[in-house]
Amino acid sequence: MNMLEVRNVSKRFGSLVAVKDVSMMVERGELRAIIGPNGAGKTTFFNMISGYFPPSRGSILFNGKDVTAVPPHARVGLGMGRTFQITEVFPELTVHENVLTAAEVAAGQTLRMLPNKADAKIANDVAIEMLAVVGMSAKADRLVGELSHGDQRTIEIAMTLAQLPRLLLLDEPTAGMGDQETYEITTLIRRLHRERNYTIVLIEHDMRVVFHLADRITVLDQGTLLAEGTPQEIAASEAVQAAYLGETQ
């Protein structure tokens, strides 16, 4: 069974068709990259997968369940976690407090004024584990606002992991980073995929990252599916080179 199935989805905003009849299937344990030039519809497509935009047409299945009409917070509860292009963290809180907050929200503790000690311990244990997973334990007591952009992005990934997802959706994880920070985030994503067996779908502009990480690549252009295949197949595609890769040369 595929972990994610997107079936012939389209999204219309008035007279503008942002995404038109796009399908994609992602297997369990796969790392899929979505690429395309500016205006290709990548973020709109991602927003439909994660529930922020309802498709105008088509359907989305997650672990065999139709989630087309399921709101974003409920998709998190089903095991779908997402980061955003603009880092979403609490700069006035510590690293540990950020990840703990995500763990508590995922556990539903914020709905209770006084969570019991057992639930509180579970959330705290999850936060400690995920900080270790992303290599941020040594900075647990630092204020997030004091840290570098790369560290903040890493913390956001830890916060997403604290929601215990089965599918990890990463929206331009290396955006705004220099070479060293890009290398560190790429190394983390590879480790999450290979060592911890997360299924990952990411949008990424940096072709070095895409071809280094992805098992398969989906290419969008002007809201439609242009190509899909292995990194080798995509690199050899004249249509992709003309529509996207040629822009970076």
For domain 1-79+166-249, the question of CATH label 2.40.30.20 is answered with no
- Tell me what pLDDT residue 106 has: 81
Residue range 13-30, pLDDT digits in tens:
999 999 999 999 999 999
What average pLDDT does this structure show over 204-225? Answer: 95
Task: Tell me the pLDDT band of 113, cut-offs 50, 70 and 90.
Answer: low
Mean pLDDT across the chain, nearest whole number? 92
57 has which bridge partners?
Answer: 10
Residue 54 scores a pLDDT above 90: yes
Domain ranges of the chain: 1-79+166-249, 93-164
Residue 248 scores a pLDDT above 50: no
* Residue scoring higher pLDDT (6 or 243): 6
68: its two tokens:
């087309």
* Residue scoring higher pLDDT (245 or 28): 28
DSSP label at 40? Answer: S
> Does the pTM exceed 0.75?
yes
- Tell me what pLDDT residue 114 has: 53
- Tell me what pLDDT residue 34 has: 97
Percent of the chain residues topping a pLDDT of 90: 84
Residue range 177-198, pLDDT digits in tens:
999 999 999 999 999 999 999 9
CA 95, 163, 1, 45 torsion-angle sign? negative
CA gap 236, 117 in Å, rounded: 57
Residue range 145-182, pLDDT digits in tens:
999 999 999 999 999 999 999 999 999 999 999 999 99
Coil/strand/helix, residue 171: strand
Find where tokens 């959706």 sit: 169
- Tell me what pLDDT residue 162 has: 96
- Tell me what pLDDT residue 247 has: 52
Coil/strand/helix, residue 225: strand
Which has the closest alpha carbon to 134: 65, 192, 186? Answer: 192
- Tell me what pLDDT residue 249 has: 41
- Tell me what pLDDT residue 140 has: 98
Task: Tell me the pLDDT band of 242, cut-offs 50, 70 and 90.
Answer: confident
215 close to 30: Cβ distance less than 8 angstroms: yes
Residue range 79-93, pLDDT digits in tens:
999 998 778 899 999
- Tell me what pLDDT residue 110 has: 53
- Tell me what pLDDT residue 87 has: 81
Least confident of 16-25, 54-63, 115-124: 115-124
Which has the closest alpha carbon to 84: 6, 171, 169? Answer: 171
* Residue scoring higher pLDDT (113 or 143): 143
